[in-house]
Copies of this chain bind each other. A is one copy, B any other.
Amino acid sequence: MLSRLLTPKTVVHAHCDLPCGVYDPAQARIEAESIKMIIQKAGENSDPDFRTRAILIKEQRAELVKHHLWVLWTDYFKPPHFEKYPQLHTLFNEATKLAGATGTKGTMDAKAADDLLAKIDEIAEIFWETKKA
């Protein structure tokens, strides 16, 4: 899925609200990958101080996921996109919830990270379709 996401594109995309016009769902995915690894590493380490660090760093990464997704939703996507992809609002709302307290912030369960990654990939697929259009 990710290979599909990154392979055909030769330009990476970021965002600033000038706007520079450069966006890329990879920014959110990168942080979500990090969350997945943090959960895995915390599961393999019995030092309580390490777990504390894992929790606080995961918190920061999850906040970044939310931010990157919000930016795409508000700054990249335009009314015609929402008309063509009526599920887009719900997708973003669910994805950012999965990054928050009811998702990867609030748990050390790897499944939450997988769910978040899957949701980001759904968004990315639509994103790249709109770029091709």
Contact = CB atoms under 8 A, between A and B. Distances in A.
A49 B108 contact: yes
B2 A5 contact: no
Given A82-B90, A93-B82, A18 B74 contact: no
Interface string A41-85: 100000001111111110111010010001001110100001000
Nearest to A49: B55
- From A9, A18, A57, A77, residue with most partner B Cβ within 10 Å: A18
B26 A38 contact: no
Q: Give the interface SS of chain A, mostly helix, strand, loop or mixed.
A: helix
27 contacts: A2-B10, A2-B11, A2-B124, A3-B125, A4-B4, A5-B10, A6-B6, A6-B121, A12-B29, A14-B30, A14-B61, A16-B38, A16-B61, A18-B57, A19-B100, A20-B34, A20-B37, A22-B37, A49-B55, A52-B56, A53-B59, A53-B105, A74-B93, A74-B96, A74-B97, A89-B90, A89-B93
Given A53-B106, A55-B56, 20 more contacts: A1-B10, A2-B11, A2-B12, A6-B6, A7-B7, A11-B33, A17-B57, A17-B100, A18-B37, A18-B53, A18-B57, A21-B41, A22-B37, A27-B30, A49-B55, A51-B52, A52-B52, A56-B59, A66-B74, A74-B97
